[in-house]
A and B are shown apart, each in its own frame.
Chain A
C-alpha cells in the first residue's frame, strides 16, 4: 500500500509536542518539589528505577567477566601465595576481632547499651558498586542491593577505611547512594583528638571535604582525624570520615577554612558495607 494513510491519523506536530512538554513539566515539578511522596506521583521514579536495572546489569557484565578471567589467568603459584597471605591476615584479624568482641561486651555492660552494640553489625549488608554517576557534578554510585536486602533510604555506606555516603533512593534490587564528597552532602563530624564538633561539607571534589563554621579559635590542626559524631542520627558515632589537610586562618574571616581528605576510597572502592540508618534513641532497633 502506498499513498497517504487512511487509518493512521496523527495529530499536528505542534499539538503532540505541547502534550509531551506539558507532561514533562508536570513530572519536573513533581520530582523536584517532592510532593505526594507516598502516592502515585512519588512512585514514578522508583518504578522507573526498577525498569532500568537491566542496563546496570549489562554495563556490569564485561567488568565482572574481566574479573573472573583475571582470576583464572593468574598462575597457581601466585594464588597459593595470596592464599597463604590471606590466611595469615585472617588469623591476625580474627585475634583482633576477638579482642574487639570482648571490649564491646565490656563496654556494653558498662553503658547498659548492650542491645545496641549487639545489633550494630548484624544488620550490615555487603554490597558492590555497580556503577558511578555519569555526571561529574553528581557524586553518586549505584549499589547492587535494594529493598530485597532491606536497604532503606538513609542507609549508610562504608568501605573498609571509612564513611563513603548514604543511600538516597532504593529500588527492588539496586539503590543509589550519595557520596560525602557531593556538593549537596554534609555530615556532622567531630575531631577525634578533642571532640570538637563540626560539619563536613562535600565540595564536588572527590579528594576534598570542607569543614564549615569553625570559629577562628578552634583547636584543629593538620593531620587530625575526623570521625562521625552521631549527632543528628543516621550515621553512628565513631566511623572515620576524613583527615584534616589544611587549616587556613584568613584575616578578617569569621570562620576557619579547613580542608579535609576523605579516608574512604570514594573513587576506587568496589566492595562496600551498608548499614541501616542509625537512630540515637533506639540504636539499630531490636530486629
Chain B
C-alpha cells in the first residue's frame, strides 16, 4: 500500500524532489513570462527540458508524480484542456528514465540532438490532443529549435550541480 501512495517519496528522495520542484517552478515562470505574441512561438518548452534533465541525470530518483503535478499546473496556467500536459510530462519522464543509460555515452551536444525527436513527439502529441479536444492550436516547430538550442547552456550550467553520488545512479542507491 505504501508503495502505491508514496511512489518514491522516501526521505532519501527529498533533496532530488526539492531540486526538481525549484527548477520546475522556474520553468513554469519562464513559460508564462509575458512575451510579444510573435515571439511566443519561439518560447522553449521549459517544463519539458526540466523534466528531461532531471530524469536522465537521476533516473533512479525521477518520479512520474512530480512531472504530473507540474503538468497539471502548466495546464491551468496555459488555460488549455486540463490534463494535457499532465499526460505528456510523465510520458517524457518515463521515456527519459528508459533512455538515461543510453544517453550517458554521448556528449552534451550530441544529447541535444537526441532531444529533437523527443520535443517533436511532444509538440505533435500536444497539437494532436488539442485538435482532438476541439481547441485551437498550431504546431510550434520554432519551439523545437529553441528548446534544443537552450539545452546546451542549460545542461552546461546544471550538470556540475549534481553531487558526486551521481556515479552510482544506475545502482539505484
A44–B72 alpha-carbon span in the complex (Å): 11
Q: Are A20 and B40 in contact (CB under 8 A)?
A: no
Determine the chain A residues whose CB is within 8 A of the CB of B2 once the complex forms.
Answer: 9
Q: Are A31 and B82 in contact (CB under 8 A)?
A: yes
Distance from B88 Cβ to chain A, minimum over Cβ atoms (Å): 9
Q: Are A17 and B64 in contact (CB under 8 A)?
A: yes
Give the interface residue-count category, chain A.
35 or more
1/0 contact string of A24-67 vs chain B (CB within 8 Å): 11111011100000000000110011011001001100000000
Give the nearest-CB partner of B33 in chain A.
Answer: A59
Q: Does B15 contact A (CB under 8 A)?
A: no
Q: Does A21 contact B (CB under 8 A)?
A: yes
Distance from A224 Cβ to chain B, minimum over Cβ atoms (Å): 28
Q: Are A28 and B40 in contact (CB under 8 A)?
A: no
Q: Does B50 contact A (CB under 8 A)?
A: no
Q: Are A28 and B78 in contact (CB under 8 A)?
A: no
Main secondary structure of the interface of B (DSSP, over half): helix
Given known contacts A132-B34, A135-B40, A44 and B7 CB-to-CB distance under 8 angstroms: no
Q: Does A281 contact B (CB under 8 A)?
A: no
Determine the chain A residues whose CB is within 8 A of the CB of B172 once the complex forms.
Answer: 4-5
Q: Are A52 and B77 in contact (CB under 8 A)?
A: yes
Q: Does A213 contact B (CB under 8 A)?
A: no
Interface residues of B in 18-48 (CB under 8 A from A): 28-29, 31-35, 37, 40-41, 43
Q: Does A13 contact B (CB under 8 A)?
A: yes
Q: Are A134 and B91 in contact (CB under 8 A)?
A: no
Given known contacts A134-B43, A135-B40, A17 and B94 CB-to-CB distance under 8 angstroms: yes
Distance from B52 Cβ to chain A, minimum over Cβ atoms (Å): 15
Q: Does B134 contact A (CB under 8 A)?
A: yes
A21–B68 alpha-carbon span in the complex (Å): 9
Distance from B127 Cβ to chain A, minimum over Cβ atoms (Å): 11
Determine the chain A residues whose CB is within 8 A of the CB of B112 once the complex forms.
Answer: none
Determine the chain A residues whose CB is within 8 A of the CB of B37 once the complex forms.
Answer: 136, 206, 267
A136–B87 alpha-carbon span in the complex (Å): 22
Q: Are B8 and A8 in contact (CB under 8 A)?
A: yes
A2 contacts which of B65, B79, B133, B171 (Cβ < 8 Å)? B171
Q: Does B136 contact A (CB under 8 A)?
A: yes
Q: Are A10 and B8 in contact (CB under 8 A)?
A: yes
1/0 contact string of A127-140 vs chain B (CB within 8 Å): 00001111111101
Give the nearest-CB partner of B86 in chain A.
Answer: A24
Determine the chain B residues whose CB is within 8 A of the CB of A204 once the complex forms.
Answer: 136
Main secondary structure of the interface of A (DSSP, over half): mixed
Q: Does A236 contact B (CB under 8 A)?
A: no
A206–B38 alpha-carbon span in the complex (Å): 12
A26–B168 alpha-carbon span in the complex (Å): 38
Determine the chain A residues whose CB is within 8 A of the CB of B116 once the complex forms.
Answer: none
Determine the chain A residues whose CB is within 8 A of the CB of B10 once the complex forms.
Answer: 5, 7-8
1/0 contact string of A173-187 vs chain B (CB within 8 Å): 000100000011000
Q: Are A20 and B73 in contact (CB under 8 A)?
A: no
Give the nearest-CB partner of A267 in chain B.
Answer: B37
Enumerate 19 A-B pairs (CB-CB under 8 Å) in ascending A order.
Answer: A3-B173, A4-B171, A8-B10, A10-B3, A11-B3, A16-B7, A16-B64, A16-B94, A24-B84, A24-B87, A26-B83, A28-B129, A49-B76, A59-B32, A59-B33, A131-B34, A133-B78, A135-B80, A183-B136
4 A-B pairs closest in CB distance: A27-B83, A24-B87, A31-B82, A28-B83
* A positions within 8 Å CB-CB of B: 1-5, 7-11, 13, 16-17, 20-21, 23-28, 30-32, 44-45, 48-49, 51-52, 55, 58-59, 131-138, 140, 176, 183-184, 204, 206, 267
Q: A49-B76, A59-B34 are in contact. List 20 more A-B contacts (CB 8 A).
A: A2-B168, A2-B173, A11-B4, A13-B64, A17-B90, A20-B65, A20-B90, A21-B91, A24-B71, A24-B86, A31-B82, A131-B34, A134-B32, A134-B34, A134-B35, A135-B78, A136-B40, A136-B138, A137-B138, A138-B80
